[in-house]
Amino acid sequence: MSNAQTFLTLFNKIEQFLDQLNDSTEHYGFRRLVDNLSKHNDLVANYKLELVDYLELRNAIVHKSTGKPIAEPHPEVIEEMQQIYDALSNPPRAISIAAKPVYSCTTKTPLLEVIREMNTNFYTSIPIYHDEQFVGVFSDNSLTRWLAHANKPLNLENTLVSQVQDYFDQADNKFNSYRFMDIKTDVFAIRQAFTAFIKEKKRLGAIFLTQTGQKNEKIHGIITAWDLPKISQK
């Protein structure tokens, strides 16, 4: 099979896949499919420029009157196109870039123990539980705010996590928030979540991955902004 034929086969596969993603019963052309889906589909949005380029290349390769190939794309184009098709049809899952296992503690844990864990392992967000119920996150931001508001000498040896509960991060905290997401979430949705917080001038400190995205389920992995560069390696 020539490069042109391979290109056209892959193009048709991508077009069929995009058509399956489209909710409308109306037939959409390739460019309209891409434009429409990229507004709400993180995967398509991630590859929008490349997909539009493939459409232009398809139009340049295929002779309008005969429908037969009149040019050959480079092998590198075919390889990249195959990778994009694979990513669209089977995107990398968020758990593949997540840190695991996840260190957590309870409100009865000595605060000094938590701080030492954060320092030793470079942890920035620690999920906190009370009676097996999730109550918030102790983060580097929590520690900084607590220290800034201290008005007397601190005795960390006798301080429990419960005593700094006022400084736990909460989901609506604009300084340092967090989200729980489904373990089956793909990496592009993760990146979009961080981007959305930046646009709102908020900080997303961590995303916790659980079975269905509920906060009281077991946390299988944690993703922070430090993990985002791993996406480009997928």
Residue 171: phi and psi, rounded to 5, are: -60, -25
Least confident of 52-66, 186-200, 218-232: 52-66
Whole-model pTM over 0.85:
no
**Which of 234, 221, 133 has its CA nearest to residue 181?**
221
**For residues 87-111, average pLDDT:** 94
Does 65 have pLDDT greater than 60? no
**For residues 186-213, average pLDDT:** 92
Spatial distance between the Cα atoms of 224 and 122, rounded to a whole number of angstroms: 12
Residues 6 or more apart whose Cβ sits within 8 Å of residue 205: 124, 125, 137, 139, 141, 169, 176, 177, 178, 224
Q: For the chain, what is the mean pLDDT?
A: 90
Q: What is the model's pLDDT at position 79?
A: 95
Query: Each residue of 205-230: b (16+ CB within 10 Å) or e?
Result: bbbbbbeebebebebbbbbbbebeee
Does 174 have pLDDT greater than 80? no
Percentage with pLDDT > 70 across the chain: 94
**For residues 221-232, average pLDDT:** 90
Ordered by where they begin, the domains of the chain are 3-89 (no CATH), 96-233 (3.10.580.10)
